[in-house]
């Protein structure tokens, strides 16, 4: 493990989402998750950093950031879920898929992944009402994960 003591959340994330990575780098993805769990403000800082990376104009960087986000949802527990479940973060995800914001400039792969993640969290975390609200709002706008995948 590239266990560099004192490695910041930002440096872990930069390594995990580096556009020159040939494939997802799980060593850094898990390192980022571990660092979130170690820091008192880890979840709050992490979601801000992730929101920025997910909105990257570079498709590969954005897709890697979504993989990191997904890993965090599985490995970082309740405190992280609470941050993702806030409108502040959900609005950043909505910007990626909504034609009103960045939706016209974001690749279909990235938009599909965002909507798939929101959908999976509505199933896995029914107690996170704002995640469900965000997904249903997108669905009402015609941005359902099945439609996006089909290119409808």
Angstrom distance (rounded) from CA 19 to CA 36: 22
Say if residue 7 is exposed, middle or buried (CB neighbours under 10 Å; 0-12, 13-18, 19+).
middle
SS3 state at 128: coil
pTM: 0.90
Distance CA 9, CA 131 (A): 24
Give 5's pLDDT tier (boundaries 50, 70, 90).
Answer: low
From the number of C-beta atoms within 10 Å of its C-beta (0-12, 13-18, 19+), residue 78 rates as: exposed
pLDDT tens sequence across 76-91: 999 999 999 999 999 9
State how far the Cα of 107 lies from the Cα of 59, in Å rounded to an integer. Answer: 7
Say whether pLDDT at 148 is over 50: no
| In the chain, domain spans | 9-150
**Model confidence band, residue 26 (pLDDT cutoffs 50, 70, 90):** very high
Question: Is domain 9-150 annotated with CATH 3.40.50.2000?
Answer: no
């Amino acid at each position: 493990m590239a266990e560099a003591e004192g490695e910041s959340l930002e440096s872990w994330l930069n390594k995990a989402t580096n556009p020159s990575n040939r494939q997802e780098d799980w060593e850094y993805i898990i390192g980022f998750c571990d660092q979130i769990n170690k820091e008192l403000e880890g979840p709050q800082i992490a979601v801000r950093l992730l929101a920025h990376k997910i909105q990257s104009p570079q498709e590969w960087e954005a897709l890697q950031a979504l993989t990191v986000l997904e890993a965090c949802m599985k490995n970082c527990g309740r405190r992280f879920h609470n941050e993702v479940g806030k409108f502040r973060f959900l609005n950043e995800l909505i910007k990626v898929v909504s034609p009103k914001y960045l939706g016209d400039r974001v690749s279909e792969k990235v938009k599909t992944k965002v909507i798939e993640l929101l959908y999976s969290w509505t199933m896995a975390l029914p107690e996170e009402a704002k995640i469900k609200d965000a997904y249903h709002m997108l669905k009402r706008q015609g941005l359902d994960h099945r439609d996006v995948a089909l290119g409808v």
